[in-house]
Every structure is written in structure tokens, then in C-alpha cells.
Amino acid sequence: MKIDFDAVVIGAGFAGMYMLHRLRGLGFSARVIEAGTGVGGTWYWNRYPGARCDVESVQYSYQFDPALEQEWEWSERYATQPEILKYANHVADRFDLRRDIQFETRVTRATFDESDKVWLVETDRGDRVLARFVIAALGCLSSPNTPRIPGLADFEGPTYHTGHWPHEGVDFTGKTVGVIGTGSSAIQSIPIMAQQAEHLTVFQRTANYTIPAHNRPLDPAYVREVKANYREMRKRAKTLPAGIDLRINMASAVESAEEERRRQYQERWDYGGLGFMASFSDLLLNDESNKTAADFVRGKIGEIVKDPKVAAALAPTNIIGCKRLCVDTGYWATFNRPNVTLVDIRNEAIERITPIGLRVKGKDYTFDCLVLATGFDAMTGALLKIDISGRNGVSLKQKWSEGPKTYLGLTMAGFPNLFAITGPGSPSVLTNMLPSIEQHVDWIADCLAAVRARGATVIEAETEAEEAWVGHVGEAAGNTLRSTCSSWYVGANIPGKPRVFMPYIGGLPAYIERCEAVVAKGYEGFSVG
């Protein structure tokens, strides 16, 4: 049987781009299929006002090419979406990636042919491509969640989803705007929309924690220092649980004196960013410790937000860091503006969207534009949108009916030669995504080369190895407070989704060690044939 490509890669975000580069380097023929008109993945789609990465720009970048690392200049501590997209385009140009990317094409189906050991990949443009390997580089947060609120289609004004924002941008000047959601996307965009809109009404189901970004232009001396030490910095980052240096303080919060706790939290609040959760080592292990950090942030909200009723409604009641911590610029203070109203809907769901607004608790709200900052069907949504069938015609949907099952978050038993970059069961979203992506891409590239070197054509995870890994992922999750709330980590934001903690929480170093051990033992847990 003649195949069209050694590999089809689905998605041209940071994962798909680097995968293509590695495949080419190994002499494999590859085609990347991408739904958008350009590269960049999450940074191509999420163009809402204020979109930025919450990992510092010098760390949120590729490290596979030292020259690229040296030549690229980030302008701010936290890069904006346009700057990150520019970087993605620079990488695509620099490595001449576009000639192997088919844009504006969505993969609709992938079917494994057991007799010929090839995948048939089909697209919405009618392509039928035969490939030995399929590599899903779909991103973890790329399938937007549009909530099933009655009447949504009846709204007469424009509706925007933060995860699928119009390329030409949206000007809210003189408009009244309703926003549903208070996750990271909302927390970044609300302060900017509030500056433009005549009036902004925020519908909050769950109050969220956010830490100031204290974003600023990068000091050239600091950039020089980073560049001079990039190798060591990257190497060290891989020895840290989240793959980022968050300056973890190994002390326990409950065992520290009140004064020391305050000092730590204040110092990290003033420094800004995700490192707040590294104030003490037990914030996600011990309820009491967690409460000290949560109380500190609640206190800050009370200080910043002038109306005590609004401040009380904005104060989160759940565990800090259980849902992903947010990083903001001026979020709490935005609620002091006369043109911003908070509507607390924690006890009552939105009844319906009406042609001119929405109804909740029997009360009607009206606005010109509706913004859905309602997140994503995380980690599994994008893969399950594709009709994937493996051995014996079993679909991935069937296999994952009780939650995702993978070996190392990379492969699935029953689905030979199919790989997922940063799939469920890998550290992915709990880490700096860029190094995690690179680690997966390198692992897959080396694996394909090893399969070829053995004169083999098929590699498949064994069921027992997969079961053991799924058990380990679940066990690790059970040890932390992170699995205890209704977050997208457990699929709780999507009605009917099985409730399983999806990412691997054992930390990047342990995970990398495990991936390397599997290789060292001749691809332990895989059958190669």
C-alpha cells in the first residue's frame, strides 16, 4: 500500500510547528493540517482584548534552537497575544514550515486500517490522506465551550466567544455589554472592555482568585542576563514541578508564624504572577494552609473594591489554586467603575438569553453585545470532535466514555501509531506549556526514529501499561486539593463530561524521568511490530 505521508500532524500551534520541524529533520515526510488561516494555535484564536500569557515571556518560548532563543526580543514581562502570534509566525518563516502546512482545513475523521497498518485521515475539504502515523497537536484548551443556555440563538446583537474572537477586533465604544464568566479570559478582558463600553454587566457564577501581573516593559539588562544564562535557566526549569521557576518556599504555611505568612504573601502579591501559589509548599495539600492564602487575597479584594457588597460577592469561597489561578491587570479595581455592574448568579442559573439580553432570578438585563468568556471543553474536547477509530472499529469516544485513558498522556491502547502532544494524563496544563510541548515532541520524534530503526511499522501502548498509568495519574491527583473542586481540570464545566482529574500532577521532573525510563527499557509498555 502506498502511503501519502509518513505522518499527519493535526494542528499548527506551537506543538504542531515543532513536530513538523523534528519530523523533517529525521527525514520523515509530513503534512500538517490546520483549521485556521495561520499558525499559532491558541494564540491564533484567542484574540480577545487583554489576552496575554500568564507565564513570563522569557520562559514561554521555544528552547530547541539556541540561535532562535538569542535573536528573538520580547518586549514585556508578560507577552501579549499579538506579540506571541508574531513569534509563532517568525518561527514558521525561519524554519520554512508553511510549505508543509495545509491551512483552512479541519480533520474530521481518522480511521486505522488494521490490514495495512495505516491511518486514513479525512478532512472537511474532502481530502483522504493515508499516513503511517497521526500526531494530534490540538492544544489542551482549544475547543470553545458554548454553554447550552436556552435562547442563545435568539440574541439579536453580536455574540463573541473569547476563545474564537473576530480577527478584526471588536470596538465596544458606546455599547452596553454583558459578559458571562469570570475565568482567566474574562479577568484579562473585563478591565479593557470596561474602558471602552458604555456599560458592562458581568455575570459571575463562581468568584475567582487573581493575582496582579505587575506587567512592565522588559529591562534590557535583565534580558541580556537571561540570554547569557538561557541554557542553565532552561535546564533548571526542568527540575521544577511546573517547569517554571516560581521560587517555591519549602516551608509549611500552617507551621509558619502569622507575621511570616503575611510577609510571604505580601511579597509575592507585590512581585505578581503565578508564584503566589509557591508562597508555601503545602498550599495545595492542606486545607488550613490554603485558607491562610485565600484569606490574604480575600482581604485584598476588600481593600481594593469600595462597595462592601460588591467586594463580598467578588470574594471567592473555594480553595485557592484549585481552579487555575488567574493573573490580571486592574481586575478588582474595575468593579469600582460606575459603568460596571456585577451580577452574582452563584445560586441561580441563567434562565434564558432573550433577544435583547438575559434573564436570571426573574430579572431581565439588557445589553447590545454578549461576550461568552465560558472557557473550553479542556484536554479531551478537541480530540473527541474528530471521529477517531482504532483497532476493531472502536472509537476514541467509546474508549474514553468514562474519562480519558492514555499511556503517559501520549498514546492510547487500541490506537496504534496515534500520538497526542500534551494529552490527558501528562503534566501539560499544570506546567509551562512550551517546554512540555517540546519534551513530548522530542519523545515522539525519537520514538518514530526508533520504530524505523527496528524495521517496524507499528507501535502501540499495551493495555496493562495504560491501566497502570491511568491508576498512577488518579492516585497522584487524589493527594492534592486540586482535584476537589468543579474545575475544567476535572471536566466539571461541561455537562455530562466524566469527572476525572485529567492532567498528571506528579510534576515535570518525575514525568520526564518516567518517559526516559520507558525508552531506556526498550519502549517498556509498548508493543512494536
Residues at the contact surface with ligand NAP, assessed by CB under 6 A = 52-54, 141, 147, 149, 162, 180-186, 188, 205-206, 324, 327, 350, 373-376, 429, 488, 493
The DSSP element (H or E) to which 8 belongs, if any, is strand 5-10
Cβ(208)–Cβ(324) below 8 Å: no
**Looking at beta carbons only, is 201 or 493 nearer to ligand NAP?**
493
**Looking at beta carbons only, is 32 or 301 nearer to ligand NAP?**
301
- Measured at the alpha carbon of residue 144, what is the angle toward residues 64 and 184, in degrees to the nearest 5? 70
**Looking at beta carbons only, is 207 or 459 nearer to ligand NAP?**
207
Q: How far is the CB of 464 from ligand NAP (least distance, A)?
A: 33
Instruction: Give Cα separations from 72 to 42, 224, 323, 336, 486 (angstroms).
Output: 20, 12, 33, 39, 39
Place of cell 525510563: 517
**Looking at beta carbons only, is 468 or 492 nearer to ligand NAP?**
492
Q: How far is the CB of 13 from ligand NAP (least distance, A)?
A: 14
Instruction: Report which residue's Cβ sits closest to ligand NAP.
Output: 183
**Looking at beta carbons only, is 28 or 48 nearer to ligand NAP?**
48
How many other CB atoms are found less than 10 A from the CB of residue 174? 9
Place of cell 473569547: 162
Q: How far is the CB of 364 from ligand NAP (least distance, A)?
A: 16
**Looking at beta carbons only, is 57 or 162 nearer to ligand NAP?**
162
Q: How far is the CB of 486 from ligand NAP (least distance, A)?
A: 6
**Looking at beta carbons only, is 75 or 229 nearer to ligand NAP?**
75
Q: How far is the CB of 78 from ligand NAP (least distance, A)?
A: 8
Q: How far is the CB of 134 from ligand NAP (least distance, A)?
A: 25
Q: Which amino acid is at 348?
A: E
Cα separation, 40 vs 62, in Å, equals 13
Q: How far is the CB of 350 from ligand NAP (least distance, A)?
A: 5
Q: Which amino acid is at 252?
A: S
**Looking at beta carbons only, is 185 or 380 nearer to ligand NAP?**
185
Hey, which residues does 434 pair with through a beta bridge?
Answer: none
Q: How far is the CB of 323 from ligand NAP (least distance, A)?
A: 6
Instruction: Give Cα separations from 405 to 386, 396, 501, 504 (angstroms).
Output: 17, 10, 11, 12
Cα separation, 75 vs 455, in Å, equals 48
Which own/partner pairs from 300-303 qualify as long-range (CB within 8 Å, at least 24 positions apart)?
A: 300/269, 300/332, 301/332
**Looking at beta carbons only, is 132 or 161 nearer to ligand NAP?**
161
Which triple of cell numbers denotes residue 151? 435562547
Q: How far is the CB of 487 from ligand NAP (least distance, A)?
A: 8
Summarize the chain as % helix, strand, coil (round to 5): 35, 20, 45
Residue-wise DSSP of 65-128: -HHHHHH----BSS-BHHHHHHHHHHHHHHTT-GGGEE-S--EEEEEEETTTTEEEEEETT--E
